[in-house]
Amino acid sequence: MNKDLKILVLEDVDADVVLIDHELRRGGFSFQSKRVETRDDFVHEIESNPPDVILSDHGLPSFDGFSALSIAKDKCPDTPFIFVTGSMGEEVAIDSLRKGATDYVLKARLPNLAPAVRRALDLAQERARRKQAERDLRASEERFRMLVEDVDDYAIFMLDPHGRVIIWNVGAERIYGYRSSEIIGKKFNRFYPPEDRARGKPEQALSEAVVEGSFRDEGWQLRKDGSRYWGVIVITALRDEKETLSGFSVITRDISMRKEADDEIRRLNARLEQRVEERTAELQEAYREMEAFSYSISHDLRAPLIHIAGFAELLTTDTESVLDDKARRYLQTIVNSTKRMARMIDDLLAFSRTSRAELHKVRVSMAEIVKEVMNDLQPEMKERTITWNIHELPDVQGDPFLLRQAVFNLVANALKYTRKRAEARIEIGATPSGGEILFFVRDNGVGFNMDYSSKLFGVFQRLHSSSEFEGTGIGLANVRSIVKRHGGRTWAEAVVDQGATFYFSLPDAKKTSDEPGSTRPAGGE
């Protein structure tokens, strides 16, 4: 034993007490014993110093063992009570056990006392454990009952192994309409519509819960008044410590409003799909009209321009002797304007083709593209002092033809707006940022007012007059269109007379923009 036992001995013979102590020590017990002879001493000891074991003689001069047993069962019912007596007939022995004695040992056979005490203590411990388990179970059931009864958003109820209701909470009463007195003991299949009962759906739900441990479903449930609601139902099989099925827990929630919302969303999606189809047809028709418009621009408008320019030159040539300087200037203005109009038509057609051209994405070396563009722009660099700062540029996935056009437009733009600088400085670089790569073209040219930056990438939008810097206002619009088709953005920063920086982003070939932790810098479209 881990601690000294407290043993109360009801005995009037000192020698017998000595023998009892001797046998218990021989049996390996560590204990403290207290001997009493009278009823008052016995009651006092039980109340003031409750013992772990009571050993009692059967017959004492002033107090008998059966009276002691009755008192012990009343005041300390869980304490083992063993008769240790000189003689006990069979009927008396049976009567003692029936009245609550744990065991009896004859004084002539005291070596049996230690095993009897050990059995009694083991039995008392087992009873104590069982009682504690029962108390814990009752407390758990009470907590469950209190928790379940107050929940009114969910129907929570319990079924026995045959599917009959045994516990019913207020939520179940609110949702189904049955009071507890009306539904306890009834089969839960009454909550299913007739068509579901006909095909055995309630029984199938219980069977699946038994096999899988739980069953979850959504469907129509039936209220007491015959109305239906759309509910989500979870059935869980309950088993005891021997894995024997003890019943089922059922949790149901009315989600009719959610279903109505889902149905409405499906209806809206169906209408949206129809509208998308209609809009797609409209866009296809608009595309065909745009194709016809492009053809008209390239042919029908170009012909009159050619005629105007041609006849203006003929008029200049044929009437040179009779025209004064003012008339010649007028004719030259007509010729220059028709040429400018022709360039605008060409640029607009190029922009239209760029917007419609099919993308052919491959791995593209941006470094090689910059080299090619600089080679093509050599005529623009003649007799100029230009300092180039070309950073290491990464490869990207994209259409090489379109990306080359975008880079060409940006570099040409930098060359044009640095033309008035004694020394032009142009820098081209790139830096990774999250799931994309930011490219930039920076110059020390005339810059622009940031208040008007929103106009930069629009068609025919210019921040400088054509007399100061030639151009049609299509180049940057083309850049934005190309970059946007590659999934990127464009924007610019500048200070008047201190240069400008044009940015564009492209998806990083090694990453995706939706990786955890990736960021997209602010700015651009």
- How long, in residues, is the chain? 525
From residue 198, how far is each of 189, 203, 336 by CA, in Å? 10, 11, 89
Instruction: Please tell me the predicted confidence (pLDDT) of residue 344.
Output: 67
The answer to whether 442 touches 426, Cβ cutoff 8 Å, is: yes
Instruction: Please tell me the predicted confidence (pLDDT) of residue 449.
Output: 79
- E strand intervals along 362-447: 362-365, 386-390, 395-398, 424-433, 436-443
Element spanning 303, H or E: helix 302-318
Rounded-to-integer distance, Cα 446 and Cα 8, Å: 111
Helix, strand or coil for residue 438?
strand
**What values do phi and psi take at 219, rounded to 5?**
175, -175
From residue 259, how far is each of 148, 196, 216 by CA, in Å? 25, 19, 16
The answer to whether 42 touches 68, Cβ cutoff 8 Å, is: yes
Instruction: Please tell me the predicted confidence (pLDDT) of residue 219.
Output: 92
The residues of the chain scoring below 50 in pLDDT are: 1, 460, 465, 467, 512-522
Instruction: Please tell me the predicted confidence (pLDDT) of residue 514.
Output: 44
Instruction: Please tell me the predicted confidence (pLDDT) of residue 367.
Output: 94
Rounded-to-integer distance, Cα 288 and Cα 269, Å: 28
Instruction: Please tell me the predicted confidence (pLDDT) of residue 282.
Output: 80
Instruction: Please tell me the predicted confidence (pLDDT) of residue 81.
Output: 92
Record the pTM.
0.41
Tokens standing for residue 438 = 């930011």
The answer to whether 449 touches 503, Cβ cutoff 8 Å, is: no
The answer to whether 343 touches 369, Cβ cutoff 8 Å, is: no
The answer to whether 33 touches 84, Cβ cutoff 8 Å, is: no
